[in-house]
Amino acid sequence: MSLIIPGDWFVNPKVLGEFYRKYKDYPIEEIRKVSFEQGLAFGRSVKAQLGINGDDPEAIAAVLKAVLRDEPTAKVMSVEKGRVLLRNSGFCPLMTACLSMNLPWTWLCSSLGWPFFHGLASAVNPKVNLTMTKRREKGDPYCDHIFEIGEGKLIIP
């Protein structure tokens, strides 16, 4: 079974429900890989469209800001000391999908959400690490995504 992630999963709870039912028993690493690739392709196209050059945190922040322009719950909070802090608060699309479709929040974020963001930033610099320092799916008041140049890993403490 080849894995296909719908292109509008981050705005359409219905496709998330179908996706979960179809792939809930699929190896999570495989799903993460495909979601990462999707983010990477999206990030590259945004980078080319907006003419974003460079591979520094400022360029990563520019790509994230462009992608999340219409997302009221996600905001680039700071770009300093070589790292970008992206914060997600309020009622995000995955939170809404989890409640309305009765889906497992942790599964959705770890298999789709975080790898996708990691892919977006990796379009700017393949060595970027994404560390999830705060996660709402485990009870934190918001999700903090820290992007910094490292070994190109997704770190979920």
Q: Of 78 and 100, which CB lies nearer to another protein in the complex structure?
A: 100
- Nearest distance, CB of residue 74 and another protein, angstroms: 11
Q: How far is the CB of 95 from another protein (least distance, A)?
A: 7
Q: Which is nearer to another protein, 91 or 126 (CB)?
A: 91
- Smallest gap from Cβ 4 to another protein, in A, equals 22
CA distance 63 to 104: 29
Residues interacting with another protein, by CB under 8 A? Answer: 13, 70-73, 89-91, 93, 95-96, 98-100, 102, 105, 136-137, 139, 141-142
Cα 27 from chain centroid (whole Å): 19
Decide whether 59 or 74 has the Cβ nearer to another protein.
Answer: 74
CB of 132 to another protein, least distance (A): 16
Q: Residue 80 and residue 9: Cα distance in Å, rounded? A: 31
Tallying the residues shown for the chain, one arrives at 157
Q: Which is nearer to another protein, 60 or 112 (CB)?
A: 112
And the tokens for 10?
């981050």
Q: Mapping DSSP to helix (H, G, I), strand (E, B) and coil, where does residue 80 land?
A: strand
- Residue that has been written with the tokens 């196209």 in this structure: 45
To 10 degrees, what angle do helices 57-67 and 114-122 make? Answer: 130
β-partners of residue 130 are 147, 154
